[in-house]
Amino acid sequence: AEDGIRDRDVTVQTCALPISKLRRTHYIGTVGDILGWDEQVNLPPDSGDQRAAQHSVMAELHHAAVTDPAIGALLTTLEAGTLGADERTVVKEARRDYDRATRLPADFVKEKAEHGSRSYHAWADARAKDDFPAFAPFLEKHLVLAKREAAYLGHGATPYDYYIDQFDPGMTAERITALFSELKTGLVPLVRRIAASPVKARRDLLKGCPVAAQEVFLKEVTAKLGFDYRRGRIDVAVHPFCSGTGSDTRMTTRYDPDDPLKALLGAIHETGHGLYEQGLPREHAGTALAQNAGMGVHESQSRLWENQVGRGRPFWKFFEPRFRELFPTAMAKVSSEELYLAINAVRPTLIRVDADEVTYNLHIILRFELEQRLFRGDLAVAGLPAAWRESSRELLGLEPRNDKEGVLQDVHWSGGAFGYFPSYCLGNMLASQLWYHALGLLPGLEDDFARGDFARLLGWLRTEVHARGRRLGLLELTRAVTGEELTPKYLLRYLSERYAGLYGVA
């Protein structure tokens, strides 16, 4: 109810905590989410100026609601009193959000929102035309705005750490560098062994798969995994994403008639995000008890479903007959082993979202290292395309032929989402750590998948991850669920176990 939160171990009345005010800010924010979703899915191409103005107005309204002095006063009163564990979580996170918002001037918030909308359209146009110089001024302004924001929040000397913390509280560039270094040490030799293997997967086997049939299969699969289409939907966008809340979850994918696995695995990935949002306790909407624990945890959910589950033999034992039924011509001369090898193809690619899961993390390391250089100031925006090409040659052994398949390929920088990319790799680490822990606790789990039953895994994730809300951050949640610190060793173990045998390089 609007007048309070009541759960098994929490009772917080609005006479003490401004729950209704927190919820009001939450719902205003969801309106902005829908505008953003519509912008990438339905907005007419020449309507960007009005949408930018709409974003600006909504950001202004949201900022005014978040910075309501009554929230600050009530939080101060609560902080001086005695609180239960969940009450402390609500107050602590509300204070974090409130302080951040009140230190940002309203005109700055408005300017940033409007620039983000204009920048997205500039990026989309520049990407289509392979014209990085046209986008460069927008990215330069994003960097200026990012450093201003960090300074407002007292992080003028460490702006990049400020942004990392926004996505994964408690993480720093130094800590991520250590994790990535250990991962890279184990990963690069595996990639080289697979590249030298005589076993070669073919992703070009599945040509001529009608988009209409792909849509049918994709929706059947995602519903079977547990996505609730009465509280969500899936559409098409230039760059796949998932947005919204558990009450209204919007996913997108993109289709290629000659590569049905692209849309399918992308949709399973977004379904992992959607399942997390739908698993957050809606009765606590607007508070930290119903908010995700950060993007690293969010990515662990999407990557676990996409990779450990969606690329596994048990999953395809169940779904392959239906796949053959929907694509009889494309599958006529493709054996089950050829299909499985195609699903788990390891082949360096220039495009991150199309990357196999063995080399995917190298794409993240590339972006992380370039972002650090941008924020340190030893790389100018104008030099970014050349730096990207150099890093791509070094890490992937490939050089982009143009900026569309290089520096312009990702949507993130168009919105000023710096510090986001590391979350993908951190999520891969946590996904593998959760996976092995779940296998130990849930005997016969993969036998469930072979029968088309994913309920036990989803139920375990609901309890161990989703229901916790924002009570624990990435590092604390990892310790609480698995009993260990976050480590890349399980990701390296998983990749070796699945791919070394498949490619005969054990």
> What's phi and psi for 334, nearest 5 deg?
-105, 120
Give, for 232, the enclosing helix (H) or strand (E): strand 232-236
**212-226: b or e for each residue (b if 16 or more CB lie within 10 Å)?**
ebbbebbeebbeebb
CA 95, 105, 375, 118 torsion-angle sign: positive
Please identify which of the residues 87, 93, 270, 277 carries the catalytic annotation: 270
Residues 6+ away with beta carbon under 8 Å from 64? 106
> Token pair of 345, please?
């193809």
CB 221 within 8 A of CB 449: no
Give, for 245, the enclosing helix (H) or strand (E): strand 242-245
Distance CA 341, CA 269 (A): 19
Distance CA 459, CA 453 (A): 11
CB 360 within 8 A of CB 311: no
Does 338 qualify as catalytic in the annotation?
no
> Token pair of 217, please?
């299969």
Distance CA 92, CA 292 (A): 15
Give, for 12, the enclosing helix (H) or strand (E): strand 10-13
Q: Which residue has the tokens 């306790």?
A: 281
Give, for 249, the enclosing helix (H) or strand (E): strand 248-253
Whole-Å CA distances, 32 to 52, 303, 307, 397? 11, 26, 31, 40
Give, for 6, the enclosing helix (H) or strand (E): strand 4-7
Residues 6+ away with beta carbon under 8 Å from 44? none
> Token pair of 202, please?
């073919």
CB 386 within 8 A of CB 114: no
Residues 6+ away with beta carbon under 8 Å from 478? 430, 433, 484, 485, 486
The secondary structure of 155-191 as a DSSP string is -TT-HHHHHHHHHSTT--HHHHHHHHHHHHHHHHHHH
**166-200: b or e for each residue (b if 16 or more CB lie within 10 Å)?**
bbbbebebebbeebbeebeeebeebbebbeebeee
List residues with catalytic annotation: 270
